[in-house]
Amino acid sequence: MKREIVIAGFGGQGVLSMGKTLAYAGLLQGKEVTWMPAYGPEQRGGTANVTVIVSDEPISSPLLQKYDIVVVLNQPSMDKFESKVKPGGVLLYDPNGMTRKPERKDIRVFEVPATKTAEEGGQQKVFNMIVLGGLLKIDQVVENEFVMLGLKKSLPERHHHLLPANEAALLKGGEILKEIK
Amino acid sequence: MKEEARLMKGNEAFAHAAIRCGADGYFGYPITPQSEVMETLQILKPWETTGMVVLQAESEVSAINMVYAGASCGKMVLTSSSSPGVSLKQEGISYIAAGELPCLILNCMRGGPGLGTIQPSQADYFQSVKGGGHGDYHMIVLAPCSVQEMADFPSLAFELAFKYRNPVLMLTDGVVGQMMEKVVLPEQKPRRTMEEVVKQCPWATTGRMGRGNSNVMTTLELVPEKMEDRNTLLQKKYKLIEENEVRVEEYHLDDAEYAMVAFGSTARICKSACEILRAEGIKVGVLRPITLFPFPKKQISDLAKKVKGFLTVEMSAGQMVEDVRLVVNGAKPVEFYGRQGGMIPTAEEIAESFKAQLLKK
Amino acid sequence: MTREEIIKPENLVYGKTKVLTDNIMHYCPGCSHGVIHKIIAEVIEEMGIQDQTVGVAPVGCSVFAYNYIDVDFQEAAHGRAPALATAIKRLMPDKYVFTYQGDGDLAAIGTAETVHACNRGENIVIFFVNNGIYGMTGGQMAPTTLEGMKTATCPYGRNTDLYGFPLRISELLERVDGTCYITRQSVHKVANILKAKKAIRKAFENSMAGKGTSVIEFVSACNTGWKMTPIKANEWMEEHMFAKYPLGDIKDTEKKHYVENNINAR
């Protein structure tokens, strides 16, 4: 098993940390992982993206041209990455603020209204966990239990009371996921 | 006790490893894309545990001179920077090489020339392996390609640095520095006691400490005959290093008809390119020099007897390719593919370039 | 009396400190470096710290300071001595660490290292020899060269419109919070030498007491660079150099009132 994923959006949307959560879960599940950000001032206010590879085998190039799964959280990222989904691959997006829907027909397209759901629930802080929940519902790249174990291990003890909200968000993302056909 | 696997950036792993290999001091100055090294050291506060000194200097110039001084005291000291900052360090590195001082320098390369970009590059190859500062000298140059190697190499680097009394450069780039991967950190080694330092480095300027004579660390020698002798000794040492310390990784070279030569992150991308080509039935392997100085001359010249041609891939306009060509010496074609200015080649591009340059001839 | 009868321990009226080597100094006759070397070495002997001291030599006339002062020494690149001293002291806090620098080294190419070592309050001693000229390279203009003073690179006299003003680095360092003691001394007369020795001892003691950086500026003569006889050079120094670089304590954090008065007086 090998999944090549890119997550892209505005800086501040938690794109990099979502990728890290995914990669760490993969590591805990005993897989090989790489997390490669497009780093620099781009992160601040502009677009941010991170490439995450989860694999059973050692990973050669941490950088890719085409992806199995593309997650886009704003319009510029949609414009940049729609063409980079491998044929038969997955495009997952949050419709919030999107002015143009994906056009490709040779891929599977999913919508996860995570911004709206997070705002309604007053849960903006777990926005990216909702997105991740959607992603993992489409393709169990890693198991939810390892996502939660990763959060538990990486969050300081004083923040552990936030774990249930994160777990709920992860499940919520799966519930609100919708395939666009 | 076996360390558990962690997820961290190459720069962070390097900082952890520096503490764990028993280093006495780090002196640095912030520059993207390697600032996480000093940030991580400041978070870890090694001065409270191992007693390691961490200091943010006023410039790269000052930082490398602090390293010169620390190394002159026989201490295990290091600095890190990125291309423009490493340019500033060259004067100090020349002094360190001339003084035959052990130390570790990390260059997390970014695109140049000039202020350039903060994106990854490998265009400091010449600077790293040919000298960089003034005078005839070499650093030992290690080129890690993964976060694990960023954690493993500091210990090796110091081992070589003290064995040969020579500066060691870890030459990496923004990909390896910024990427997170699984890493198992080395075990904590104790820092050497002052007695151990004096025993290992009887030349060190530690204060006389009852020695009865004074130690002087100087690189000045106004008598040219004596200066030539010094140079001759340095060259002898470099020859010894070339004979004993070459390290490479070979990937699918056993049955290879063609070889790619690449170091650091580019070598990993070449492995992916290699997979693409092998899927098309083209037998390609990758030779990854782990040491850039000493350069794997014998390995490449042996390969030249076996393969039909080489493709050297670098994030530069073509620097290491000159050394590959020197070794191959016309026996087989040596082609080049590179991206510059912070652009990273893709596996697909490399595979295409390989076919265009080596198969259509 | 024969020569042998005269050379006896009981007849000894003066002995060179053991912390000076027997090497013949390369300095010009009349130069202040020899005297400054000697009194630093004497203080090191008197304090009994020869085995715990590490010196840092500059680039300039005193580049070979390590051939004369018999302690462990490091030779710095031009201007970088305070960076070296910083690392030595941080890595070995139980050592006495000093730099010995000229005006080109400390106040031109090494200004950043000087200011920042002082600003960090490194527990080191900086000996700063100010003779207003680059001696070693043959008498070029220094940042401390006086207005109108002729050198090889300002042969018609230092024009402040073109080359700026004589830099009073000690006054500048006074405003840097990490310094604890800044004093300006000279070694052209016995009384001055005795005062300078006291200052040297105090500076070394400050460094081990963790009080911060001590800077001792020695206003010095370079009769060769100035193209004068040694006696004339000393007279010229008193008349011109002391006018721009007045002797005395500039900062002493132990004597706050004195320092404030001193600032007001200027």
For B178, the closest of A32, A33, A37 (CB atoms) is A37
pTM of the model: 0.94
Predicted confidence (pLDDT) at residue C262 exceeds the cutoff of 80 = no
Rounded to whole angstroms, the Cα distance separating C105 from C99 reads 11
Kindly compute the dihedral angle of the four CA atoms of residues B160, B122, B306, B347, in this order, to the nearest 10 degrees: 130
pLDDT at C256 exceeding the cut of 70: no
Q: Residues B150, B10: contact at Cβ < 8 Å?
A: yes
Q: Which CATH superfamily is domain B6-198 in?
A: Thiamin diphosphate (ThDP)-binding fold, Pyr/PP domains (3.40.50.970)
CB contact under 8 A, C85 and B69: yes
HEC sequence for B26-67: EEECCCCCCCHHHHHHHHHCHHHCCCCEEEECCCHHHHHHHH
DSSP 8-state code for residue B110: B
C7 CB neighbour count, 10 Å cutoff? 9
Give how far the C-alpha of residue B262 lies from the chain's centroid of Cα atoms, to the nearest Å. Answer: 14
Give the residue numbers in B contacting C (CB under 8 Å), as ranges: 24-25, 27, 53, 55, 57-59, 61-63, 65-70, 72-73, 75, 77, 91-92, 95, 194, 205-211, 214-220
Of all residues in chain A, what percent are helix, strand and coil, respectively (each to 5)? Answer: 45, 25, 30
Please indicate whether, in this complex, the C-beta atoms of B207 and C87 are within 8 angstroms of each other: no
- Contact C124/B at CB under 8 A: no
* Chain A CB within 8 Å of residue B32 CB: yes
CATH of the domain at A68: 3.40.920.10
C-alpha closest to that of C30 among C199, C244, C218, C224: C224
Please give the Cα distance from B203 to A7 (Å, whole number).
54
Contact criterion met (CB below 8 Å) for A121 and A171: no
Confidence of residue A41 (pLDDT cuts 50, 70, 90): low
Mean pLDDT on C174-188: 97
Q: Which among B182, B260, B266, B272 is the top mutation candidate for probing chain A, defined by the most A β-carbons within 10 Å of its own β-carbon?
A: B182
**Average pLDDT in chain C:** 94
Q: How is residue B5 annotated by DSSP?
A: P
CB B6 within 8 A of CB B29: no
Whole-angstrom Cα distance, residue C170 to residue C6?
A: 47
CB contact under 8 A, B59 and C71: no
Instruction: Name the phi and psi angles at A156, rounded to 5.
Output: -65, 150
A and B: number of Cβ contacts within 8 A: 64
What pLDDT, on the 0 to 100 scale, is given for residue C255? 73
Contact B179 A36 (CB under 8 A): yes
Q: Is the pLDDT of residue C6 over 90?
A: no
Looking at the partner chain, which of B5, B174, B268 has a beta carbon nearest the beta carbon of A60?
A: B268
pLDDT at A46: 67
Write down the pLDDT at residue A11. Answer: 79
Which CATH architecture is the domain C29-265 placed in? 3-Layer(aba) Sandwich (3.40)
Query: What band does A121 get if pLDDT is binned at 50, 70 and 90?
Result: confident
Neighbouring chains of B at 3+ CB pairs under 8 Å are A, C
CB contact under 8 A, C73 and B214: yes
Confidence at A45, pLDDT banded by 50, 70, 90: low
String of DSSP letters for C179-207:
EEEEEEE--SSHHHHHHHHHHHHHHHHHH
Contact B183, B4 (CB under 8 A): no
Report helix, strand or coil for B111: coil
Number of domains chain A is built from? 1
Selecting from B27, B59, B216 the residue whose C-beta is nearest the C-beta of C87 gives: B27
pLDDT at C257 exceeding the cut of 60: no
What's the farthest any 2 CA atoms get from each other in chain C? 65
In chain B, where the domains are located: 6-198, 249-359
Chain B: residue nearest A35 by CA?
B180
What is the maximum span of chain B, computed from C-alpha positions, in angstroms?
72
Length of chain A: 181
B116 vs B83, B111, B132, CA distance in Å? 9, 5, 18
- CA dist C104 and C151 (Å) reads 13
| Residues B249-359, CATH architecture | 3-Layer(aba) Sandwich (3.40)
Collect all residues with Cβ–Cβ distance below 8 Å to B255 and sequence separation of at least 6. Answer: B283, B285
Among the listed residues B17, B238, B203, the one whose alpha carbon sits nearest the alpha carbon of residue B106: B17
Q: Is A39 on the interface with B (CB under 8 A)?
A: yes
Average pLDDT, chain A: 93
Which chains are adjacent to chain A, needing at least 3 Cβ pairs under 8 Å? B
Q: What is the pLDDT of residue C265?
A: 44
Spans of all domains in chain C: 29-265
Query: CA B260 to CA B353: how far, in whole Å?
Result: 11
Residues of chain B with confidence (pLDDT) below 70? 1-2, 361
How near does any CA of chain B get to the CA of C202, in Å? 20
Task: Indicate yes or no: CB of B70 within 8 angstroms of CB of C88.
Answer: yes
Asked if the model's pLDDT at residue C263 lies above 60, the reply is no
The pLDDT of residue C101 is above 60: yes
What phi and psi values does residue A157 have, to the nearest 5 degrees?
-50, -40
Are the folds of B6-198 and B249-359 the same?
Answer: yes
- Closest Cα partner for B258 from B326, B338, B144, B350? B350
Question: For the purposes of burial, counting CB atoms within 10 Å of the CB of B62, is it exposed (0-12), middle (13-18) or buried (19 or more)?
Answer: buried
Query: Is A20's Cβ below 8 Å from some Cβ in B?
Result: yes
Which pLDDT does position A138 carry in this prediction?
Answer: 97
């010009």: which residue's tokens? C28
pLDDT at residue C264, rounded to an integer:
46
Which residues make Cβ contacts (< 8 Å) with residue B34, sequence separation at least 6?
B11, B80, B81, B82, B106, B108, B177
C touches B, CB cut-off 8 Å, minimum 3 pairs: yes
Average pLDDT value for residue range C92-119: 97
Using a CB-CB cut-off of 8 Å, the residues of chain C touching B78 are: none
Cβ within 8 Å, pair B69-C73:
no
User: Which residues does chain B have within 8 Å of residue A36's beta carbon, measured at their own beta carbons?
Assistant: 175, 178-180
Residue type, A6: V
8 Å CB contact of B69 and C56 = yes
CB B311 within 8 A of CB B335: yes
**Does C266 score more than 50 pLDDT?**
no
Q: Does residue B148 belong to the interface with chain A, where contact is any CB pair within 8 Å?
A: no
Q: How confident is the model at residue A44 (pLDDT cuts 50, 70, 90)?
A: low
C73·B209 Cβ contact <8 A: no
What is the C-alpha end-to-end distance of chain C, expressed in Å?
58
Residues C54/C97, Cβ–Cβ less than 8 Å: yes
Residues sharing a CB contact under 8 Å with residue C143, sequence separation 6 or more, in sequence order: C103, C104, C107, C108, C164, C166, C167, C169
Which H/E stretch holds residue A120?
Answer: helix A114-120
CA neighbor of B289 nearest in space, from B258, B314, B255, B256: B314
Identify all chain C residues contacting B207, using CB atoms and an 8 Å cutoff.
51-54, 71-72, 92, 95
C-alpha dihedral sign at C28, C30, C35, C38: positive
Best residue in B7, B82, B119 for a mutation probing chain A (most A CBs within 10 Å): B7
Cross-chain Cβ contact B175/A34 below 8 Å: no
Q: List chains touching C (3+ CB pairs under 8 A).
A: B
B301 Cα to chain C: minimum distance (Å): 41
Contact B66 C87 (CB under 8 A): yes
The structure tokens 């500062």 sit at: B133
Q: What is the pLDDT of residues C27-60, one digit of tens each?
A: 999 999 999 999 999 999 999 999 999 999 999 9
User: What's the number of CA atoms in the CB half-sphere (13 Å) around residue C230?
Assistant: 10
Report how far Cα C154 is from the mean position of its chain's Cα atoms.
Answer: 24
Q: Inter-chain contact B268–A37, Cβ cutoff 8 Å?
A: no
Domain that holds residue A29: 2-180
Query: Would you say C57 and B218 are in contact if contact means Cβ atoms under 8 Å apart?
Result: yes
**Which pLDDT value is given to residue B231?**
98
Which of A24, A39, A60 has the CB atom closest to B272's CB atom?
Answer: A60
